[in-house]
Structure 1
């Protein structure tokens, strides 16, 4: 009886594996939990029947009837001394021309034409002659479509900073002197006509003049302005692209040996040890398909690139030594991979060692929420050995399977775009950048924009050291030359205009200089409330380091228990030992707070934290750490609202005042009623209306409140249906500070 894998059946049916797994569950096949699970032929046929298409029934459409418009006819009729043009929809009245004779003794009006009798009129004065001018009265066309257009005053305008008094005057149509006077008297701001105003002052002035001013900062020309026009996502142009894989793991667990073993096994002898190490990536072919490996196995480099926005890795291989098990750096690498939100394949390496125990590795990783598919999880485990080459091909097959599930595709017809792996200044070639093309095709002569630099591609070299004229998707190459050395992690794009590339690069340089003066402000315990108020934070991300494993577990549990429905405490990474550069890099990339318990911060990490603006807190008492975060969280909680009844008022008389409405003469039975309190109108124990007071008086005097035992007059805002005997209940909503549960 034949079997078929879920991923292959999904590819056959043209659907997602997750959808296929759901259909299996609907049919009682609960053992199917992963795309690598298999179905027997009968089960597969049953699932195929669910995806058989049914022919759609399309109802016949009636052709819309076109309403014919009668032709416009025009007739001319004589009515006395007037000629009337009649046409469908309008009447045009043409007045006959009038001849006006003006005596010579009277001065010529503005519409008269004075004609000189000779060209030499300036030599000898001659009497001028008056020529009668035919003056036509304006033609009047009577039509219902002509209406006067009244231009409404703008109530919303958009301005770009910097904004001066002169700019504001021109935009609002208000004299500059008036604005300067208002600034001085109303805002205590002395200014001149060319002085740049603060944005909040500009918006306040707009409110005072009844105009909403939207300050829209001029955006730099970025790649999004032209990339969308260049990229084509037509299905017929898309082709399979190789997955990009990064190896992570603990020191001395065999990452480099495993990479070297893969390279020697699957790359021709002429390609071994070439320029691969300098490119930073290389391709491996298996079963007619390719896998691209990044030569940056250290998780610090992995996180540093992710911090720059270069999420280029499709799959992470977590390497764990079978004889050593999960170590602190293994757990740290796992947290980095989870933070990047990419699929993880576990390579249980050094399986050839006598004391290898792969079962212990699976158990340890299961406690870290990385469960093998053999145990009902979704993570693929492969036993490998760099010495005996065991499991190498299986690992490559699993990586290809993951790439099929991800449906990685690219369009070679697009202009190339990708990311810089590393760059340097070569003595013979100038600036050389080692890049990975993610989409499109890079050709010699292309104009490339890369971070704060730009240039024209003059030389393309593959990872094997071979010069080529073009390179397609998912290909690591070395290119030259650029105007300056780009940073690792910078994205590059092919553009059609070198002037545009220069403009964008210079704009980015300017932006970097400005941001150097005002660096990015990370979340701190002091700024947490303002971040929450702005809607920028929904959870507190914490990196936890302590002196002992037991302390880590206790502190982790105590912090996580502080979570509420409104704000969560999420532990991104926890470990034993001092605070390192890797911890600061992860906090910088994830906008987290670093908490250390009975540990110190390394010198390089301290300098890096100050440079990146990462908040590092050190404690010696667990309760100090939990109480400080608890206090910060309590300040972020929305205050609790509670309704308090102030008093009840009985309506005894109703007066109707013209242009004012119904006014109630009342008696305060209990408590009090205030001018600012909310009120309910109650009739026969049923709430008729809930609103606010418009006025509260004793006789003719306005008062702020009236207490029990006194009479008063009141008017309910926007409501007149009041009757004798109704009860007006006064209440207010009070807010109380909340605290976290003990």
Structure 2
């Protein structure tokens, strides 16, 4: 093997070409080569051969970092640094274990707390003995970890020492085997060598690959690879060379990270105490979750539910729910909603029990069923006073209450529905509901009849039965409640009770005097005549009805009236039908909810509770409800809020549907009948009932007219605000304030934007003025009026004028500018206006019967003798609703 390598070395000599390349020349000295130059010049160059040490781990790490092979002094310094780092690490570990012993136990106990919501019940706190035992176990585990780390470091130091010894032995063997032939003497070794060339002055020229390069070529040839590239896997990495600027002093420095690095170049990282505790706690949680039995839950599934909410109800991780959905082909994020069918499949897959619920199920708590017969107790009767306008309903109630309510009503008429309670000398109580008698308050009367037990029909003895009397009878019959007739104003001259009773027979009201079962009592609100008999009749009728209710339950009632007051917010007058309403109760009323902050009786006195049959004002609503809504007390305010939100959503949905349907119908109607003229208004009132009555009255004005209509943009309870003016300005609407006023800011804005605000306190005036405004929007009625005939006797053709007819007025009068028709054989062949009307040479305004004149038509010349001209005038007449 040595001889073959020697022959190869003799064949491949180092020499330099004319361009300065180095090569081996045959016959040259082993330690010197000849460098050839141009023009036959040459120069002897000394060749230095250096052996590259091969250490398995240390050299590999040094090759990656670009460092040279360590010398003995450098290796000794690295070993000393390793020993120093080892001692420092032991000192730090010992101090950390002593200072953090107690903190380790507390941190481990704190980290053991579960993170997820459905985690098992918390463990009981450890006593002192158990805590000491746990600390001792952790201390032992930490000491074992430290001992293992020290053992690994000691083993690594031993390996480094053994490696140093093997390298020293290899160096000694190499020095003994080295021959003076230079590069060829080491051809049989596996150690790679790097050959550098220097000139006579010792200047560095170029590195040359020596015997190792030849070995690589031979090895590549033997393995079937490319010569000069070694093994087929890749080229062999040459050892880094050192230039003249390399600093040997910097390469001999050793840092702690380099000293602690492994043979692969990675640092030795010891496990921190916190990481060790986290790993232990993770294993404990895994063991506890594996040993814990799965809890099967009943999961309520609404129509739509978000992924997060579904995961919370199942007490599962949201990520697991999303993965299950993805496996089912549904890509959903944590905030997206899924339908009930998909949610049911997911719940079943997780092993829980699904329960389908609907959004309307929130109202199931309001259905409390009927009360038991043994819980029923007597309650006061609810009496509604109804009748025609100005028949004395409120005056009769004032006489019963000994108050003066009528004096406070605007115009002497009742425009609000009120509820009052009186106590008789016998101790019995009667609740009265006073309803308006005007035609606009039909809904109020209907509402009063629906919540009442007895209807008192007030009929004036001097007026007898009137239109609203008939309407009140219809409401009472529709409600199915008994009726008592009070013939009022019996003290006036001309009062006739028998006439009233006879007129009532036409509408099916048969009194006892006429052989029926309806009580009729003659009374006088002014002289208080017959009031005691009326009270007796009411109590008798209530005994027959056996009115009872359960006061020991959650209250229910009906809203008689609702309004918005400054300082108190929304206030509702409620008639309690069963149960007892107390201060602090949470309730839901229509689409609103609230909590009873205060209760006031009909005399504005605060009370603590109100039982069945009692009218009460409730303060504490979050919004103004509609008159007629049901008030139901629930367990807590959150439940009332959920029910109110559901109802508000339904109201918005219905309004959107109705708006879309109405818009479509309006569009088709406008196409068929022409665009209708709108009269936009914004209505603000003091109470909900008045607004309702005004809305109904205004809509009724244009029921039979398709040309104009009232458009109520907005209606609400309370003062006129800036938002109302903004809406009116945008729609060019008029603002109607009924018993309310605009605030200063709204007045200033209305003045600036030119918005008209009109204030009213009587509903008659509202209807009359709006009716007049609508009448002004109607197009006038056009009529045609005949004024005269003229017969054409001769036709003249005048230059620059055209044909002129010479006519005789045979009937009536002909006026210039009037409409005319040209008749030929009694057939209209032209209709237009007269361009000129002359008498001789003068232009005249009109020509009467029996006179001759000249006529010319506007833009028409086809006139003949014998034609007849018919003259007429167009008149416009204003229309009214």
TM-score range normalised by the length of the shorter chain = 0.3 to 0.5
Is the strand fraction higher in 1 or 2?
A: 1
The structure number with the bigger radius of gyration is 2
- Higher RCO (CA 8 Å, separation ≥ 6 residues): 1
Choose between structure 1 and 2: higher helix proportion: 2
